[in-house]
C-alpha cells in the first residue's frame, strides 16, 4: 500500500468486533454504502499510518502501538447526563456559541445528532501535527478550552460513524446544519433521525450534504495554532502502576497516574499532599504515596518538605486552582459545583501575596488622579481593578481616558475600537503637546524628522475589533499594566442573541482579565437610552444590566451641561475601597486635553 495512506480502525455489528484496520478511503466508502441501513458501525477518532496496520497484523490488537498518530476531524462529545431532550438541545446551542466566541468559524463546525447525544465536529483549525503524542495535545487543549465536553481523546478511541444505526435509540446519527438549529425543535431532530425518508423531509439539501460529509482527508488552513496546549514531557517511572480513577477528587488521581512532570513536580506534589491530608490520610501514608509517585525524580528531602509544609501549614486548594482545574474531570463529585473547597488561604500565604502586590504591582502599576491632574483629590486606580468610564455622547470620555494613560506613563494596551489608529495616535500627540490637530498635521507635513514617540513609547494601539477570548490571549502575551477598551460595545461576542447576555459576558470577561493578570482595566461604556433622554446620570445609567455596576470596582461619570459647554464634572458613582471622587474640569476640544478647575470657578450644576 502507498506510504501516505492513512488507516482507520473500523468496528461494525457490535463493539466486540475491534482491531479491523482499513484505509481511510475504504472506510468512507463503507460509511456511504451502509448509510441509513440497520447497521451499527464505528471509526477511530484518529488516523494512523501503515505502521498501525502492520502492528495489528503482528500483534492482533491496537494495544501497545507507539507510532505516529494523525488528527482527523475533531469531535466534542455532548451526552445527556440526566438532561431532558430539550435541555440538552439548548445546552448544545450554547456550546456552539462558545466555540464561535472562542474564534472558530461557523463554517468549520458540523453538528451531528448521535441518537442520544450530540457530536460537535470541528475541522482541524488548530493545525495539530502528526506525532506519537498528538492525542495528548488534543486532550490537553480540549480539556482546557472546552471542558463542557466529555474527555474522549485517548489514542484508541472509536466514535459512532456518520449515518450509522444506534440500536439503543433505534435511530441514526444525522447531520444538523447550524443554519437549521433555530428552526428545528428537538422533536424535529429526533424525528429526522428515524429514517432516510424522515431526514430528507427536514433537510431538502440532503444529497449535497451527504457527499460533503463523506469525503476523506478534508483539510483547511489552521488559524488557532496559538491555542494548542503542548502535551507534557513525562519522566518515565521504573514501574508504572497507574490505575482506574474514581469520582473523589479525580484530578489528583490523574496527576498521580501521569507521574512527575519536570517543571511542575513541586506544585503538583503540594496539591496531592493537600488532598490526601483532607481525606484523612496520616502523614506517613501521604509521604509514602508521594515517594512512590516521585520515583526519585526529585530529591527525597524535597518530598519530605512538601509533606511537612502541608501537614503543618494546612494548605488547601480549590477546584479553581490553576493545576487542579487543568486536570478537572466531569466524573468527579465536585465537578458540577466546583466546591471541593472554598479558596481559603492562610495568613502566611496572604501576607506574602499582599507584600508582593504592594511592593511590585501597586507601586509600579497604580494610577493616582492627583498625579494626573495636580490639585485633584488623591484617588487610586489599582492593578486588578475594572474601572468603567461613562457619560453621554460628545462629553469626551475617550479623551479623558487618553489624558490619564498618556500622563501616567504605564505600559498600556489601548483597544481603540471606534476610532481608526491614525485618529487615535493624532489625539495622543495633541494631548502630550497640548496642540491643535492642525499643528500636529503641519509638523508632520513640513518636517520629515518630526517625532513624538518618546512621549508615547509606553502605549500600544490596536483597532481591530477582537473576540473577547482574543483579548485574553493578547493580555496574557503582552502583560500590559493597563488595558483600555474603547468601547465595550465593540468587543465581539458571537452566539448570543440577547444584548443583556452579551454585555454581561463582556464585563465578566474584562473583570476576569483584571483579576487573573493583575491588570488595570479601563473600560469606556455607553449610557442607556433612558438616561440619554433625561440627561440624569447616575449609577443606574450604564447600558445593560446591573451586572456592569456590580462587577466594576469603580464607575466614573463624565457630565456636562451640553456639548457646547466646555465644563465637565468628573465624579465617581461607585468607588470600591476609595472615598468618593469629584473633579470639575474644562475640556479643551481643540487640544483634546482636560484642565482641572476649582469648584468655585463656575456655577456648573
- Residues contacting 481, CB < 8 A, separation 6+: 364, 365, 383, 410, 411, 412, 519, 520
Looking at the fold, whether 222 and 254 belong to one and the same domain comes out as no
Looking at the fold, whether 387 and 507 belong to one and the same domain comes out as yes
Query: Could you give the CA distance from residue 180 to residue 586 in angstroms, rounded to a whole number?
Result: 55
> Is the predicted pLDDT of residue 170 greater than 70, yes or no?
yes
Looking at the fold, whether 265 and 190 belong to one and the same domain comes out as no
Burial of 546 (0-12, 13-18, 19+ CB in 10 A): exposed
Query: Could you give the CA distance from residue 256 to residue 239 in angstroms, rounded to a whole number?
Result: 13
Crossing angle (nearest 10°) for helices 300-313 and 283-294: 140
Whole-angstrom distance between the N-terminal and C-terminal Cα of the chain?
Answer: 85
For residues 31 and 173, the answer to whether their CB atoms sit within 8 Å is no
Average pLDDT of span 591-598: 94
Burial of 241 (0-12, 13-18, 19+ CB in 10 A): exposed
Decide which of 356 and 448 is more confident. Answer: 448
Structural domain count, the chain: 3
Residue 180 lies in a domain: yes
Residue 448 lies in a domain: yes
Q: What is the DSSP string of 523-580?
A: EE-PBPHHHHHH---STT-BSS-THHHHH-SEEEEEE-S-SS--EEEEEEEEETTS--
Query: Could you give the CA distance from residue 325 to residue 574 in angstroms, rounded to a whole number?
Result: 33
Average pLDDT of span 317-328: 82
How would you classify the pairing of strands 70-71 and 41-44? unpaired
> Is the predicted pLDDT of residue 388 greater than 90, yes or no?
yes
Looking at the fold, whether 512 and 558 belong to one and the same domain comes out as yes
Residue 19 lies in a domain: yes
For residues 492 and 468, the answer to whether their CB atoms sit within 8 Å is yes
* Mean pLDDT over each residue of the chain, to the nearest integer: 86
Phi and psi (nearest 5°) for 284?
Answer: -65, -35
Residue 332 lies in a domain: no
Looking at the fold, whether 114 and 263 belong to one and the same domain comes out as no
SS3 368: strand
Looking at the fold, whether 300 and 223 belong to one and the same domain comes out as no
Query: Could you give the CA distance from residue 302 to residue 308 in angstroms, rounded to a whole number?
Result: 10
Decide which of 208 and 45 is more confident. Answer: 45
Query: Could you give the CA distance from residue 557 to residue 397 in angstroms, rounded to a whole number?
Result: 9
For residues 485 and 491, the answer to whether their CB atoms sit within 8 Å is yes
Residue 361: pLDDT band with limits 50, 70, 90: low
Residue 108 lies in a domain: yes
Residue 269: pLDDT band with limits 50, 70, 90: very high
Give the pLDDT confidence score for residue 205 in this predicted structure: 57
Residue 534: pLDDT band with limits 50, 70, 90: confident
Q: Within 13 Å and on the Cβ side, how many CA atoms surround 124?
A: 19
- Residues contacting 307, CB < 8 A, separation 6+: 273, 283, 286, 287, 290
Q: Which domain does 65 fall in, by range?
A: 7-227
Query: Could you give the CA distance from residue 81 to residue 306 in angstroms, rounded to a whole number?
Result: 38
> In this predicted model, what pLDDT tens digit does every residue of 453-499 receive, in sequence order?
999 999 999 988 888 878 888 887 788 999 999 989 888 876 655 67
Residue 605: pLDDT band with limits 50, 70, 90: very low
DSSP conformation class of 495: S
Looking at the fold, whether 370 and 320 belong to one and the same domain comes out as no
> Is the predicted pLDDT of residue 169 greater than 60, yes or no?
yes
Looking at the fold, whether 54 and 135 belong to one and the same domain comes out as yes
CA 171 to chain CA centroid, Å, is: 35
Give the pLDDT confidence score for residue 148 in this predicted structure: 86
Residues of the chain above pLDDT 90, percent = 45
Give the pLDDT confidence score for residue 3 in this predicted structure: 60
For residues 509 and 438, the answer to whether their CB atoms sit within 8 Å is no
Write out the H or E segment, with its range, that includes residue 307.
helix 300-313
Write out the H or E segment, with its range, that includes residue 71.
strand 70-71
For residues 157 and 47, the answer to whether their CB atoms sit within 8 Å is no
Residues of the chain above pLDDT 70, percent = 91
Strand order in the sheet with 74-78: 74-78, 118-122, 109-113, 174-176
Domain end marker among 227, 258, 286:
227
Query: Could you give the CA distance from residue 296 to residue 259 in angstroms, rounded to a whole number?
Result: 11
Domain end marker among 274, 296, 326:
326
Residue 539 lies in a domain: yes
Crossing angle (nearest 10°) for helices 468-478 and 85-102: 50
My answer on whether omega of the bond before 205 falls inside 30° of 0, hence cis, is: no
Looking at the fold, whether 79 and 41 belong to one and the same domain comes out as yes
Looking at the fold, whether 221 and 292 belong to one and the same domain comes out as no
Give the CATH number of the domain where residue 211 resides.
3.90.920
Query: Could you give the CA distance from residue 470 to residue 522 in angstroms, rounded to a whole number?
Result: 17
DSSP conformation class of 391: E
> In this predicted model, what pLDDT tens digit does every residue of 191-237 receive, in sequence order?
989 988 888 777 665 555 555 555 666 678 888 988 888 765 444 44
Looking at the fold, whether 543 and 395 belong to one and the same domain comes out as yes
Residue 530 lies in a domain: yes
- Residues contacting 64, CB < 8 A, separation 6+: 55
Residue 331 lies in a domain: no
Give the pLDDT confidence score for residue 329 in this predicted structure: 83
Query: Could you give the CA distance from residue 32 to residue 45 in angstroms, rounded to a whole number?
Result: 18
> Is the predicted pLDDT of residue 338 greater than 80, yes or no?
no
CA 38 to chain CA centroid, Å, is: 41
For residues 135 and 72, the answer to whether their CB atoms sit within 8 Å is no
Looking at the fold, whether 369 and 294 belong to one and the same domain comes out as no
Give the pLDDT confidence score for residue 1 in this predicted structure: 41
Amino acid at each position: 500500500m502507498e506510504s501516505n495512506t492513512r488507516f482507520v480502525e473500523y468496528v461494525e455489528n457490535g463493539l466486540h468486533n475491534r482491531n479491523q484496520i482499513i484505509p481511510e478511503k475504504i472506510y468512507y466508502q463503507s460509511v456511504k454504502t451502509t448509510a441509513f441501513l440497520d447497521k451499527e458501525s464505528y471509526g477511530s477518532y484518529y488516523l494512523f499510518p501503515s505502521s498501525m496496520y502492520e502492528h495489528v497484523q503482528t500483534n492482533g490488537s491496537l494495544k501497545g502501538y507507539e507510532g505516529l498518530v494523525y488528527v482527523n476531524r475533531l469531535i466534542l462529545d455532548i451526552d445527556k447526563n440526566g438532561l431532558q431532550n430539550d435541555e440538552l438541545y439548548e445546552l448544545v446551542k450554547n456550546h456552539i456559541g462558545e466555540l464561535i466566541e472562542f474564534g472558530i468559524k461557523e463554517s468549520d463546525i458540523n453538528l451531528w445528532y448521535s441518537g442520544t447525544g450530540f457530536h460537535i465536529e470541528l475541522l482541524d483549525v488548530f493545525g495539530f501535527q502528526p506525532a506519537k503524542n498528538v492525542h495528548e495535545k488534543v486532550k490537553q487543549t480540549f480539556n482546557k478550552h472546552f471542558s463542557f465536553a466529555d474527555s474522549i481523546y485517548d489514542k484508541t478511541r472509536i466514535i459512532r460513524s456518520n449515518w450509522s444505526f444506534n440500536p439503543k435509540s433505534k435511530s441514526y446519527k444525522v447531520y444538523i446544519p447550524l443554519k437549521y438549529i433555530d428552526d428545528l425543535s428537538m422533536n424535529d431532530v429526533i424525528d429526522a433521525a428515524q429514517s432516510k425518508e424522515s431526514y430528507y423531509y427536514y433537510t431538502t439539501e440532503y444529497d449535497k450534504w451527504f457527499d460533503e460529509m463523506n469525503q476523506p482527508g478534508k483539510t483547511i488552513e489552521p488559524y488557532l495554532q496559538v491555542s494548542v496546549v503542548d502535551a507534557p514531557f513525562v519522566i518515565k517511572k521504573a514501574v508504572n502502576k497507574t490505575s482506574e480513577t474514581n469520582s473523589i477528587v479525580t484530578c489528583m488521581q490523574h496527576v498521580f497516574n501521569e507521574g512527575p512532570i519536570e517543571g511542575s513536580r513541586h506544585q503538583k506534589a503540594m496539591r496531592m499532599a493537600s488532598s490526601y491530608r483532607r481525606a484523612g490520610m496520616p502523614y506517613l501514608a501521604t509521604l509514602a504515596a508521594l515517594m512512590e509517585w516521585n520515583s526519585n525524580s526529585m530529591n527525597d528531602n524535597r518530598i519530605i518538605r512538601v509533606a511537612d509544609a502541608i501537614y503543618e501549614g494546612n494548605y488547601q486548594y480549590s477546584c479553581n486552582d490553576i493545576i487542579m482545574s487543568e486536570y478537572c474531570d466531569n466524573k468527579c463529585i465536585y465537578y458540577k459545583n466546583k466546591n471541593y473547597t472554598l479558596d481559603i488561604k492562610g495568613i502566611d500565604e496572604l501576607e506574602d501575596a499582599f507584600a508582593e502586590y504592594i511592593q511590585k504591582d501597586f507601586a509600579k502599576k497604580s494610577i493616582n488622579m492627583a498625579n494626573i491632574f495636580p490639585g485633584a483629590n488623591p484617588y487610586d486606580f489599582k492593578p486588578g481593578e475594572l474601572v468603567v468610564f461613562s457619560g453621554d455622547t460628545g462629553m469626551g470620555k475617550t479623551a479623558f481616558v487618553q489624558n490619564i494613560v498618556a500622563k501616567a506613563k504605564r505600559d498600556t494596551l489601548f483597544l481603540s475600537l471606534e476610532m481608526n489608529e491614525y485618529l487615535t495616535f493624532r489625539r495622543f500627540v495633541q494631548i502630550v503637546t497640548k496642540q491643535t490637530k492642525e499643528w500636529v498635521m503641519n509638523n508632520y507635513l513640513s518636517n520629515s524628522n518630526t517625532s513624538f514617540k518618546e512621549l508615547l513609547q509606553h502605549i500600544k494601539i490596536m483597532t481591530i475589533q477582537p473576540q473577547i477570548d482574543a483579548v485574553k490571549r493578547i493580555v496574557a502575551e503582552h502583560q500590559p499594566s493597563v488595558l483600555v477598551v474603547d468601547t465595550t460595545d465593540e468587543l465581539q461576542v458571537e452566539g448570543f442573541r440577547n444584548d443583556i447576555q452579551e454585555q454581561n459576558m463582556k464585563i465578566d470577561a474584562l473583570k476576569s482579565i483584571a483579576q487573573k493578570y493583575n491588570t488595570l482595566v479601563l473600560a469606556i461604556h455607553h449610557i442607556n437610552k433612558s438616561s440619554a433622554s433625561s440627561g440624569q446620570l447616575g449609577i443606574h445609567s450604564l447600558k445593560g444590566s446591573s451586572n456592569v455596576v456590580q462587577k466594576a470596582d469603580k464607575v466614573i461619570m463624565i457630565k456636562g451641561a451640553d456639548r457646547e459647554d466646555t465644563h465637565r464634572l468628573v465624579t465617581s458613582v461607585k468607588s470600591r475601597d476609595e472615598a468618593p471622587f469629584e473633579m470639575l474640569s474644562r475640556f479643551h476640544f481643540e487640544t483634546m486635553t482636560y484642565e482641572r478647575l476649582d469648584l468655585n470657578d463656575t456655577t456648573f450644576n
